Amino acid sequence: MMHLTFVLMFGSLLCLGTKSSNSFEWKQIMSEIRSSFQESLNMINNALNQTARSRSRSPSSPEQMFMISRQAASESQDLFKAAEIFQTTLQVLKDKANRRQKRSLHVSDLLSVEEVERIADLSGCPRSVHPSTCIGEDKYRSLSGVCNNRQNPLWGSANSGLLRWLPAEYEDNEIQPKGWNIDRQYNGFKLPLVRDVSEKLMHSSNVPVLEDNLYSQMLVDWGQYIDHDISFTPQSSSQMAFTDGLNCLHTCRNANPCFPIQISRTDKLSGSKGCLPFFRSSPACLADLQPNLQNTTQRQQINSITSFIDASTVYGHSEQLEKTLRNLSSPEGLLAVNREHTDNGRLYLPSVTSGPSACFQKPGSAANERVDCFVAGDSRVNEILSLSALHTLWMREHNRVAKHLRRLNPHWRSEVIYQETRKIVGALHQIITMRDYIPKIIGQESFDNHLGPYKGYDVVLNPSVSNVFATAAFRFGHATISPVLRRLNESFQEHERFSSLNLHQTFFSPWRLVKEGGLDPVLRGLLGRPAALQNQDHLMTEELTERLVVLNIPESLDLASLNLQRGRDHGLPGYNDWRIFCRYTRVETTSDLTEAIGNAVLAEKIMEVYGHPNNIDVWLGGLMERPLPGARTGPLFACLIGKQMKMLREGDRFWWENPGIFTQQQRHELETHSLSRVICDNSGVMEVPLDSFRVGTYPEDFHFCTDIPSLNLEAWREKPDNCTV
């Protein structure tokens, strides 16, 4: 390792594995580190202050809404600021060395382990949690996920780094995304612009949207809902570039955190410039030190919520957020509800506390008719109407179960009722996802191969969500999003008063639930209409590629381009590398690609766009694969999703099947419950399919709610002398 002082001061190279014993030299090193840290701190502070001033001058809608939906909770902002300072300090030191040496060096060439740790401390990065912290009995999982694994307390916890199953591939091996240097070639070709990939491969305006003959729209929306329970990679808090103060909304230059999507000036999304705004994901603070210092100092991304399937969508992932979601004055352990609006007597989620919010309003509505954004365990609750409906459904289920437990166990304190209900609701999220959802997505054969029967908790299995899962594989569902949100009446026909909506009309519009019929028409639409079937000739609706609303950006955006750019931002290896990871053969030729995707014409198009099969982005390649029998994904995504789900199941000490979490009788009762029953118990929908994810014909495939098995909470009755007090 080249020691920092000699590189910066004398231009010499000296290999040292540990901190020098020379006190003068060490003081010089620390002086250079502190100077670079202060320079970085000033840059970050200036950028954040300019961002705050810019937003205060902007209209409240739509420009500020994205700060609610796509940035982490306020209590996490200090952590993300520390991570930005840490990463920027490393780059400032490297840039100084490069200028003095007149050649390109890596951070790992300049710094020792101790020096990197010192920079992390100065930046405010938290220290690792020692296993000794996880002492005593813990009947209930922590909100943050810390200490789920007692030997590795941060595994799966909120605000920890996304797991890397393969090393990151950055253009400078440290932080620069793929495509950062426009003239860089890969395998003899430049990477195609992501917007070009979208336009040439993702859709054709002449191809109709196909309907899935097996599964309902609920399958798609549950996928989005449960994705928000296990992963959330926030984007940078700054709207301004750190080094030169450029506004990411107005520049087409790459300047961290700005990584704009380049497009042609004739593109209908371009407006007056040749790019669309894109903000890089927030970096993670220093992870656990690895033997290879380069891997330690590489930019990593963060998961700001818990990786576990734990209903964090309902309860949040921090004590501060939890307090805003609970009715702390209730003796029944209830969640807070909306005080202004009701749904035919049923309750809505509470509104944000600092109104007026930036959610859209009904055109022409008066000020006293406002419907502010909802607040839930996940900040993305308002993104789309169906997502708001599912969040509301589970808030109601918590309160329903809590009230019943209170009647069964009047001696229980409010906190016990709350925690026991949270435990039940979390288990139902796990059951519905793993029993009813995942086998339909990856196919029963892949489920058996990658997961198989539950064999108990595995203490050496890291349950943290992987980067490739969150950024690519679990975004498969974007190709099955319908361009229309159906709203149906009691006979599961088009609603007479509340017509179906184009998808873009449902973005950030909770007023449509409150003012247009409540949850019931939306839930019937999810249950009673088929999902859009993935179609290689039309992989994504134009509602998402031409009219996506991202509310801190004035223009419409393209979800396909955003997904591709996000994968490059994270330095994800390409499609072929992940095929090898999953033990499939590498695609070498157009013929190989045709075999993988089952479409010769499309294979030719992909090769024409990318030039070389090794250049294919993993999200695009996995999405294009021919689905497995009985599945809605191809073999690559089935492998990656299956591997992740196994880790989430076996790596969770509080998994519902793990002995000691529930009694045998309680487990039996939990298994009888279903999403259909949750809908029956918490809405005005009176007829449902036995399996909410299977599409059927009304009325023959629907059942009255009285015929749907229900959870018998008698299994949770306790005598006063055995209760938790």
- Look at strands 342-343 and 302-303 and give their pairing: unpaired
Question: What does the pLDDT look like over 539-568, one tens digit per residue?
Answer: 665 545 444 444 444 456 778 899 999 999
* Residues 6 or more apart whose Cβ sits within 8 Å of residue 572: 168, 169, 467, 468, 471, 472, 617, 618
Q: Is 140:443 a contact under the CB 8 Å cutoff?
A: no
The Cα–Cα gap between 535 and 539 comes to: 5
State the pTM of this model: 0.93
Question: Please, which pLDDT band fits residue 538 given cuts at 50, 70 and 90?
Answer: low
Please give the structure tokens belonging to residue 376: 């839930």
Is the preceding omega at residue 363 within 30 degrees of 0, hence cis? no
Q: Is 489:520 a contact under the CB 8 Å cutoff?
A: no
Question: What does the pLDDT look like over 258-298, one tens digit per residue?
Answer: 999 998 767 766 666 788 889 999 999 876 666 677 777 88
How much is the pLDDT for 47? 93
Domains and CATH numbers, the chain: 1-127 (no CATH), 216-231+310-453+465-473+483-533+663-725 (1.10.640.10)
Question: What does the pLDDT look like over 481-494, one tens digit per residue?
Answer: 888 999 999 999 99
Question: What does the pLDDT look like over 621-663, one tens digit per residue?
Answer: 999 999 999 999 999 999 999 999 999 999 999 999 999 999 9
Question: What does the pLDDT look like over 444-494, one tens digit per residue?
Answer: 999 999 999 999 999 999 999 999 999 999 998 887 888 899 999 999 999
How much is the pLDDT for 611? 97
Question: What does the pLDDT look like over 10-51, one tens digit per residue?
Answer: 343 333 334 445 676 778 888 899 999 999 999 999 999 998
353-238-617 Cα angle (round to 5): 110
The Cα–Cα gap between 43 and 49 comes to: 10
At 466, is the secondary structure helix, strand, or coil?
A: strand
Q: Is 49:43 a contact under the CB 8 Å cutoff?
A: no
Question: Please, which pLDDT band fits residue 114 given cuts at 50, 70 and 90?
Answer: confident
Q: What is the mean pLDDT of residues 178-183?
A: 94
* Residues 6 or more apart whose Cβ sits within 8 Å of residue 181: 171
* Residues 6 or more apart whose Cβ sits within 8 Å of residue 265: 273, 274
Q: Please list the active-site residues.
A: 228
